[in-house]
């Protein structure tokens, strides 16, 4: 018997934070935006590169007079890099990734006149002090992952799909939750029983994790093991390790891969034949939003939350040759589902 899904809009956690405006000392004038990168380099085809693209786009739009970045070879460089930015009189300092959050917060508390933002901050848990000059940039990636799960279930020929994470951070597991729930929704609507390997939202401690975002051998082993268990669609939520899974899909011919964060058609076009779709996180858009808010003199510590509705999260288009293997009916269903989730008619939580 089909379940009845209530029409519930998941209101972002931003509503739980009292907004505190920061004095617009440099609003609409000489804004200097400085990006503190996570490890991986500026050309990581993921967080660093896409966040930096947001900064450069902001400059082109006239919201920043100058933009610059500093790379980090290890976590020990986060604090020193941010200190360099303070010394250089940066007016808005943006840390890329939750790993940089502690260093950003420490600097913000010591420098209340400087504005700060953290890309991909995991919600409210480290903002209990309501630091007035720090904005968290977050994303409801459960929404677009829900769509990806629905698509994966509809595409699968084996009725087995899979997902794994780099590490069990909230910013990782939110993708996996959405994916598993999207599969469950497909099963309920279509009377199917597509199985999800690697993740059960009710048993997160049993989820499949690499342990980091760089161990290609382990990512490959996980991907191959999923295939041995019958999975023909794999969703890696592990940054650059997604390319490892895509490479395996290309060589084995037993599975297709779902890209994460950025559009794999542009970051890894060599895998077009096996990329079902990419689940996008609007990193560039979030950075631009923070820069524009500071430029307009309206900077607050209220969370930015990327959603399907504001296009802060989304799905890539379907590309050839993969598109030809997806039924037009499934594509149509996915389009309708996206509209319903974006408008709150169907909850992805």
Q: Check if the beta carbon of residue 142 is closer than 8 Å to that of residue 183.
A: no
Structure confidence by residue, pLDDT tens digits, 126-137: 554 578 999 999
Give the pTM: 0.83
**Which residue has 């309206």 as its token pair?**
298
Q: Strand 32-36's sheet: what is its strand order?
A: 66-70, 32-36, 92-96, 115-119, 134-139, 304-306
**Which residue has 């993708």 as its token pair?**
175
Structural domains of the chain sorted by starting position, each given as residue range(s) with its CATH number in brackets: 17-139+283-306 (3.40.50.2300), 141-261+313-342 (3.40.50.2300)
DSSP helix/strand/coil, 131:
coil
Looking at residue 122, its pLDDT comes to 64
Which phi-psi region, left, alpha or beta, contains residue 261 (left: φ > 0; alpha: ψ -120 to 50)? left
Looking at residue 29, its pLDDT comes to 57
Looking at residue 98, its pLDDT comes to 84
Looking at residue 46, its pLDDT comes to 80
CA atoms within 13 A on the CB side of 5: 20
User: Would you say the C-alpha torsion 239, 243, 246, 247 has a positive or negative sign?
Assistant: negative
Q: In sequence order, what are the beta bridge partners of 281?
A: 313
Q: In sequence order, what are the beta bridge partners of 88?
A: none
DSSP at 245:
H
- CA distances, 83 to each of 36, 105, 247, 303 (Å): 10, 12, 40, 24
Residues of the chain with pLDDT under 70: 1-29, 122-129
Residue 218 parent element (H or E)? helix 216-228
Tally of CB atoms within 10 A around 18? 10
């Amino acid at each position: 018997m089909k379940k009845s899904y209530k029409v519930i809009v998941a209101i972002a956690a931003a509503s739980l934070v009292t907004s505190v405006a920061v004095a617009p000392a440099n609003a609409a004038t000489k804004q200097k935006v400085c990006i503190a990168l996570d490890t991986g380099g500026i050309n990581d085809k993921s967080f660093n590169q896409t966040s930096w693209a947001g900064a450069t786009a902001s400059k082109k739009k006239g919201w920043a007079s100058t933009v610059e970045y500093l790379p980090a070879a290890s976590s020990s460089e986060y604090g020193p890099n941010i200190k360099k930015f303070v010394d250089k009189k940066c007016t808005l300092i943006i840390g890329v990734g939750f790993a940089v959050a502690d260093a950003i917060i420490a600097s913000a508390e010591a420098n209340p006149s400087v504005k700060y933002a953290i890309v991909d901050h995991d919600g409210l848990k480290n903002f209990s002090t309501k630091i007035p000059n720090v904005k968290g940039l977050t994303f409801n990636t459960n929404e677009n992952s829900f769509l990806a799960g629905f698509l994966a279930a509809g595409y699968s020929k084996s009725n087995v799909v899979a997902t794994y994470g780099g590490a069990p951070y909230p910013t990782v597991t939110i993708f996996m939750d959405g994916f598993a729930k999207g599969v469950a929704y497909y099963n309920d609507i279509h009377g199917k029983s597509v199985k999800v390997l690697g993740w059960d939202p009710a048993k997160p401690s049993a989820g499949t994790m690499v342990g980091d975002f760089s161990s290609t051998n382990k990512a490959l082993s996980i991907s191959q093991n999923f295939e041995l268990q019958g999975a023909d669609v794999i969703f890696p939520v592990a940054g650059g390790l997604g390319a490892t899974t895509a490479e395996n899909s290309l060589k084995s011919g037993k599975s297709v891969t779902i890209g994460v964060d950025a559009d794999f058609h542009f970051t890894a076009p060599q895998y077009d034949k096996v990329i079902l779709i990419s689940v996008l996180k609007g990193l560039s858009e979030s950075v631009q939003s923070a820069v524009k808010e500071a430029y307009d003199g309206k900077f607050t510590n209220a969370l930015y939350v990327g959603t399907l509705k504001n296009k802060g999260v989304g799905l890539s288009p379907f590309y050839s040759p993969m598109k030809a293997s997806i039924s037009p009916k499934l594509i149509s269903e996915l389009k309708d589902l996206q509209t319903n989730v974006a408008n709150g008619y169907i909850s992805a939580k």
